[in-house]
Amino acid sequence: MAKQNKTFVTEITPQNEDFSRWYLDVIKKADLMDYSPVRGCIVFKPEGYELWEACQRGLDQRFKATGHRNAYFPLFIPESFFEKEKEHVEGFNPELPWVTEAGGEKLEERLAIRPTSETMIGHMYAQWIHSYRDLPLLLNQWANVVRWEKRTLPFLRTSEFLWQEGHTAHATAEEAREETMKILDLYTDFVETELAIPVYRGQKTPSEKFAGAVDTYSIESMMKDGKAVQAGTSHYLGQNFAKGFDIKFLDKDNVLKHVFTTSWGVSTRLIGSLIMVHGDDRGLALPPRVAPTQIVIIPIGPQKERDRVVEHASGILKALQAAGLRVQMDAREDLSPGWKFNEYEMRGVPVRLEVGPRDIENGQVILVRRDTTEKIPVSQESLVETLPKLLDDIQNNMYETAKEFRDEHSYTADTLPELSEIIREKRGFVLAGWCGDDACEKAVKDECSATSRNIPFDPPQHMEHCVTCGKPAKHSVWFARAY
């Protein structure tokens, strides 16, 4: 069995040796997904899909608490819809797959497989909205979308992925802008409090905003290799889509006006972020609030004591389940406790509970934290009271650890050579000044493959000069290489 333990550990490539390989090793070893026969598409296995279900629960609660309702719109979108908003179709056209035949016959009009739903929803809103009494209209959709990516990476960038997309319509620009920021706040709260991932909040530069939006805002997260993942976006669309699809309403002053719209979304790339932010060389490390299994009970001890220990552990299992904790027990006989310890550490279960004959006699159990590996003896009587507090402490510690890492790998640069050296040698986010010229922003990307992530609302420092041309800076911008 010792050989089995050793083999298990060496199947995961160390992060500092090859981070991308580590990521692929972990998601396969943890049984989160498998590759499908279609290029760029993955199969979500139960362990991976349950993480998405946790995201759905946490976000759906927040959406409904702020007045949004769920709906569903078609997967297929007529080509003519995309022509109604020129910037939108130009932005998405390279990624669009088209349906040209059905039932053995060529279609009169090509149908795009949904890359996002602004056009379809714009068409429907024009049918539904007539009066100020119909506003605001606050809808959300849980769906799959397709964008034919050239380079793919499971969870983070796939040709088909799962997401939610919110779409709202308002009587005034002020209401629509308020909605845009409300959702950004909602995303921030979910990602930081549930996923334990710290984010930088800010506005996208014009070249990076959503195709068809007036303004795009994002939350940006840092992975352990220093790269960025855009964890969520919220778009103020103004009247661009309203005019394209003729979405009008009769206002209180009896004047016909175009509505103001927003859209916003997060996707299954949150799962990839979760893995890359918290994982280590032992595998996954899952925050307790979204972990499918929060506690695993492992009976230990000699074979002759097995029945007594398993029966005792089963009583603990029932008590913890009755307390609302997500707990399971592994009483398999054909695997050693040591192998099980490695397995559940690799799967990221926040707490391991060990119980053996001596623990029964002492009226205690041993709790082992996944985040710190600390072993904690706890009386069985206080277990139901202790575990929720311990899970909260693990959740908070994982957030603080991730924030400390992010802050330690966030830098400033005054010149392009300095920024480029940091990106290549240190890796991480670099705050730099930007004059507002697209050419200066592009020069950064050309020099070191770093893109602007966002213009932070509260930058740690206000940069005085553009990192590229040296002119006075209009904005302080986060730059980083990104997934």
Residue 200 carries which side chain, given as an amino acid letter? Y
Q: What is the pLDDT of residues 17-69, one digit of tens each?
A: 999 999 999 999 999 999 999 999 999 999 999 999 999 999 999 999 999 99
358 pLDDT tier (thresholds 50, 70, 90): very high
284 occurs within a structural domain? no
User: What is the average pLDDT across 106-131?
Assistant: 96
Q: For 7-16, 47-56, 251-260, 348-357, which range has the lowest pLDDT when averaged over its residues?
A: 7-16
Q: Give the whole-angstrom CA distance, residue 62 versus residue 186.
A: 7
* Secondary structure element (H or E) that encloses residue 377, with its range: strand 375-379
Place of tokens 């220990």: 309
Q: Is the pLDDT of residue 7 over 60?
A: no
pLDDT at 83: 83
Give me the mean pLDDT over the 103-127 stretch. 96
Q: How far apart are CA 352 and CA 131, in angstroms?
A: 58
Q: What is the pLDDT of residue 150?
A: 85
Please give the residue range of the domain that contains residue 88: 7-278
Q: Coil, strand, or helix at residue 345? A: helix
Distance, CA of 155 to chain centre: 9
Q: What is the mean pLDDT of residues 280-293?
A: 98
pLDDT band of residue 94 (cuts 50, 70, 90) is confident
Are 414 and 323 part of one and the same domain? no
Q: What total number of domains does the chain contain?
A: 3
Whether residues 247 and 304 share a domain: the answer is no
Residues 377 and 307 in one domain: yes
Q: Per DSSP, what are the bridge partners of residue 34?
A: 43
| Helix (H), strand (E) at residue 229 | strand 228-238
Confirm whether 274 is domain-assigned. yes
Phi and psi, residue 331, nearest 5°? -110, 25
Read off the pLDDT of each residue in 438-452 and give the average, rounded to a whole number. 98
Longest dimension (CA), the chain: 85
Q: Identify whether residues 102 and 213 lie together within a single domain.
A: yes
The answer as to whether 188 is a domain residue is yes
Q: Which amino acid is at 35?
A: Y
Across the chain, how many H-helices and E-strands are there?
15, 23
209 and 356 both lie in a single domain: no
Indicate whether 405 belongs to any domain: no
Q: How far is CA 422 from CA 119, 201, 202, 276, 433, in A?
A: 41, 22, 22, 21, 15
Q: Specify if 356 maps to a domain.
A: yes
Q: Are residues 40 and 187 in the same domain?
A: yes
The span from the CA of 339 to the CA of 375, in Å, is 17
Alpha-carbon gap, residue 268 to 3, rounded angstroms: 36
205 DSSP assignment = P
Q: What is the pLDDT of residue 2?
A: 39
At 62, which CATH number? Answer: 3.30.930.10
CATH of the domain at 374: 3.40.50.800
d(CA 135, CA 269): 32
Residue 440 and residue 332 share a domain: no
> Would you state the pLDDT for residue 6?
42
Is 119 in the same domain as 36?
yes
Q: Do 314 and 274 lie in a common domain?
A: no
Minimum mean pLDDT range among 84-98, 224-238, 358-372: 84-98
Neighbouring C-beta atoms of residue 337, cutoff 10 Å: 16
Is the pLDDT reported for residue 9 higher than 80? no
pLDDT at position 82: 87
Cα of first residue to Cα of last residue in the chain, in angstroms, is: 39
pLDDT band, very low/low/confident/very high, at 149 (cuts 50, 70, 90): confident
Q: What is the pLDDT of residues 213-258, one digit of tens each?
A: 999 999 999 999 999 999 999 999 999 999 999 999 999 999 999 9
pLDDT at 86 over 80: no
Bigger pLDDT: 284 vs 1 = 284
Which tens digit of pLDDT belongs to each residue from 203-214? 999 999 999 999
Mean pLDDT, all residues of the chain: 95
Checking if the pLDDT of 274 tops 80, the result is: yes
Residue pair 385/260 in contact by the 8 Å Cβ criterion: no
Please report whether residue 393 resides in a domain.
no
Query: What is the value of pTM for the model shown?
Result: 0.94
Confidence grade of residue 197 (pLDDT, cut at 50, 70, 90)? very high
**pLDDT at 53 (0 to 100):** 98
As a whole number, mean pLDDT of residues 291-308 equals 96
Residue 10 has pLDDT above 90, yes or no: no
Report percent pLDDT > 70 for the chain.
Answer: 97
Residue 269: what pLDDT? 97
User: Does residue 285 lie within any of the structural domains?
Assistant: no
Same domain? For 248 and 171 the reply is: yes
Q: Does the residue 91 lie in any domain?
A: yes
Average pLDDT in the 273-292 region? Answer: 98
The answer to whether 430 touches 423, Cβ cutoff 8 Å, is yes
- pLDDT at site 374: 98
- Whether residues 137 and 183 share a domain: the answer is yes
Q: Residue 326's pLDDT is what?
A: 98
* 80 and 217, same domain (yes or no): yes
